[in-house]
Amino acid sequence: MKASLRLRLSALSAVAFAGVGIQAPFLPVWLEGRGLDATTIGLVVALPVCVRVLASTPLVATTDRGVTPRALLASAHLALGLAFALLLAAPNAWAIAGVVVLAALAQSSIVPATDLVLTDAVRENRALDYGRLRVFGSLAFLASSVAMGYVLEVAPLDFVVYGLVAAGFLGALVATTTPPLASERDLPPREGPRPRLPPALLLAIVGAACVQASHAGVYAFGSIHWRAIGFSGSTVGWLWAIGVVAEVALFVVAGRFVGRGRGLPLVVIGALAAIVRFGGLALEPGPLATFALQSLHGLSFGATHLGAMAILTAMAPPGARGKAQGLFAAAQAVGMACATVAGGMIYEHAGGLVFLAMVPLPLAGLACLALSRRAALKGSVSAPS
């Protein structure tokens, strides 16, 4: 049963990110192919982030009230596939934007609800390793991004949409076959007010979200910029892939920190890596150095994510764990939305300097983490370590 559970949870993680591996690098390219300019692309790419600000917390918080994460995930994946199918019929930028909003509403709960399932499983079964479950999401991102890079060298850009639709439907199938955890079977729906999240946790959420939001420039305009300076479609795919390879290695090595403390140092390492990565990419240093900088994704994203999950697992009170996961997703979305919209304007006028414009975000994240540590030491909640 343990092997079967591990396999099902790994598959659940994979389907949460298979579509993201297509969407993050190649949806902006599809939008450009439909004739949208850089500013409009920035706005359209920012729309899902804005939707997540409003939708993530209330949707994932329903799991604190008796809705099972598996049911939430199955319905969200199905709705996502249906929404992306509408993109092919969208006649103009306004219609595209409307469809993207619908897709974003469906998508907003998928990653935080998946993380909630994985962290709950780790809490219930110490033999499970969060990193070695979550790593299959990274591998799925890797496979789909590389595959789509090669597909687009020989096929029309509409294959981006075909891939997104298929990923959504596959996710719905996997979610319906995931077995329930003990926490789902045994706990009744919660009534009355939920516990409040401690200030130290809120500050840590903001700090980690700032670091993750600094990826907005490369997510929205990395592929476009690299193609503009002469990189082939397959090279762009591998530039995304090399970062995921580094992320995979980190998850395998450091994934057991989730559920065992040690979250704050990982987020600090992630912030420092983000400063180096995005500052370096702004210099357009050539293919080899670009690959090296992209490999820092393992730290700028991976270490930050593991650290955040460790902090959430340790500090979120029972009855508010869904709320905490949703709030972290929403906080990331706020920063990502602002950074993406600003990035569109910056990229249109300054090109690759959009990466340098992201550097203040991890700096702000470091400041919030320092405040979180201080608040935890002063309060009743143990400081994240």
Domain assignment present for 113:
yes
pLDDT, tens digit only, all 385 positions of the chain: 566 888 999 999 999 999 998 998 899 999 999 989 888 888 888 788 788 888 988 998 888 887 888 899 999 999 999 999 999 999 899 999 999 999 999 999 999 999 989 988 888 787 888 888 988 988 898 789 889 989 998 999 999 999 999 999 999 999 998 877 655 544 545 566 667 888 989 999 999 999 999 999 998 888 888 888 878 877 887 888 888 788 889 988 888 778 666 688 999 999 999 999 999 999 888 888 999 999 999 999 999 999 999 898 888 887 788 888 889 988 988 888 788 888 888 988 888 899 999 999 999 999 999 999 888 777 654 445 5
Beta-carbon contacts of 297 under 8 Å, excluding residues fewer than 6 positions away, are 242, 243, 244, 246, 247, 277
Domain assignment present for 155:
yes
pTM: 0.79
Closest to 110 (Cα-Cα) out of 177, 145, 59, 149? 59
Beta-carbon contacts of 35 under 8 Å, excluding residues fewer than 6 positions away, are none
Give the residue carrying structure tokens 């980690």.
Answer: 208
Number of domains in the chain: 1
Rounded CA-CA distance 370/203 in Å is 9
For the chain, give the number of residues. Answer: 385
In degrees, rounded to 5, the angle at the alpha carbon of residue 134 between the alpha carbons of residues 133 and 135 is: 90
Domain assignment present for 186:
no
Beta-carbon contacts of 289 under 8 Å, excluding residues fewer than 6 positions away, are 280
In degrees, rounded to 5, the angle at the alpha carbon of residue 155 between the alpha carbons of residues 153 and 157 is: 95
User: Looking at residue 122, which CATH number applies to its domain?
Assistant: 1.20.1250.20
Rounded CA-CA distance 40/66 in Å is 40
Rounded CA-CA distance 191/51 in Å is 27
| 49 contacts 350 by C-beta, under 8 angstroms | no
Question: 198 phi and psi, to 5 degrees?
Answer: -65, 150
Domain assignment present for 318:
yes
In terms of residue numbers, what domain contains 280? 2-180+192-378
pLDDT computed for residue 186 by the predictor: 47
Closest to 68 (Cα-Cα) out of 104, 109, 102, 103? 109
Closest to 227 (Cα-Cα) out of 240, 212, 215? 240
Rounded CA-CA distance 299/288 in Å is 19
- Classify burial at 108, counting beta carbons within 10 Å of its beta carbon; exposed 0-12, middle 13-18, buried 19 or more: buried
CA contacts within 13 A on the Cβ side of 73? 31
Domain assignment present for 384:
no
| 182 contacts 358 by C-beta, under 8 angstroms | no
Domain assignment present for 185:
no
Domain assignment present for 285:
yes
| 267 contacts 365 by C-beta, under 8 angstroms | yes
Say how far residue 76 (Cα) sits from the centre of its chain: 16
| Angle in degrees, 0-180, between the axes of helices 2-33 and 233-254, rounded to the nearest 10 | 150
Rounded CA-CA distance 113/60 in Å is 6
pLDDT computed for residue 193 by the predictor: 66
Domain assignment present for 385:
no
